[in-house]
């Protein structure tokens, strides 16, 4: 029995619940994420808060990103000093730079919201081109967290899993668009082999590498 198949037997309920929360956020515009039993934390989120979270957590620890999200209200996302202080207090790396990214992304959120009804790949390209702080990983993260299940979040945990299990020869230092899409195709094949979508597969891989199902 393969790694992913074993994980699906043990974690199906928790993964299904998280994916359901993602879908609810995308459909209704808000949700409460429940991270029990992995960590004792429930977080209220909206589309704006989720975008800020995905910007904040890039190159930072997931738990620090969750702390940031749990410590700020949606209406505070337009207040530069509150955003900066909350990022700093949450031990987010590059908090000054990310403050500007978050403020500017919220200022253009109406544009972002209007593009979300298009197909996933069109939306991702637009986000990467038009929202500072969002590369392919961060844009994919945001889209997955609001219910899209056809993009991969290729972070260090996923790359480590792929390398350890001989899907890739080495962990790339930088992920160009071409490399990102090539690795995303590998993940699509793994997902298909296990009758999963990319959102589900990511959660299983993340659990395998970290012992937690977060977001």
Tokens of 140: 């994919």
Task: Spell out the domains of the chain, with CATH numbers in brackets.
Answer: 3-149 (1.10.340.30)
User: Out of 137, 149, 202, 215, which one is annotated catalytic?
Assistant: 137
Alpha-carbon distance of 116 to 119, in angstroms, equals 8
Residue 154 pLDDT: 98
Residue 2 pLDDT: 85
- 76-99 pLDDT per residue, tens: 999 999 999 999 999 999 999 999
User: Out of 48, 98, 149, 155, which one is annotated catalytic?
Assistant: 155
Mean pLDDT of the chain: 97
Whether 137 sits among the annotated catalytic residues: the reply is: yes
Q: Which ranges of the chain have pLDDT less than 70? A: 1
Whether 48 sits among the annotated catalytic residues: the reply is: no
- β-partners of residue 46 are 30
- The model's pTM: 0.96
Residue 1 pLDDT: 62
């Amino acid at each position: 029995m393969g790694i992913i198949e074993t994980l699906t037997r043990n974690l199906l309920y928790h993964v299904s619940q998280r994916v359901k929360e993602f879908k609810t956020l995308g459909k209704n515009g808000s949700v409460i994420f429940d991270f029990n039993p992995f960590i004792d934390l429930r977080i209220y989120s909206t589309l704006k808060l989720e975008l800020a979270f995905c910007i904040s957590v890039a190159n930072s620890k997931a738990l620090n990103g969750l702390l940031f999200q749990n410590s700020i209200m949606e209406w505070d996302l337009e207040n530069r000093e509150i955003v900066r202080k909350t990022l700093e207090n949450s031990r987010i790396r590059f908090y000054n730079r990310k403050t500007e990214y978050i403020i500017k992304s919220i200022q253009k959120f109406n544009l972002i919201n209007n593009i979300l009804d298009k197909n996933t790949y069109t939306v991702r390209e637009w986000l990467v081109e038009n929202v500072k702080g969002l590369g392919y990983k961060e844009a994919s993260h945001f889209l997955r967290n609001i219910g899209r299940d056809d993009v991969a979040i290729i972070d260090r945990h996923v790359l480590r899993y792929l390398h350890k299990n001989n899907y890739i020869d080495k962990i790339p230092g930088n992920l160009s668009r071409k490399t990102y899409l090539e690795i995303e195709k590998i993940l699509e094949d793994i997902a298909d082999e296990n009758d999963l979508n990319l959102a589900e597969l990511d959660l299983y891989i993340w659990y395998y590498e970290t012992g937690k199902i977060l977001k």
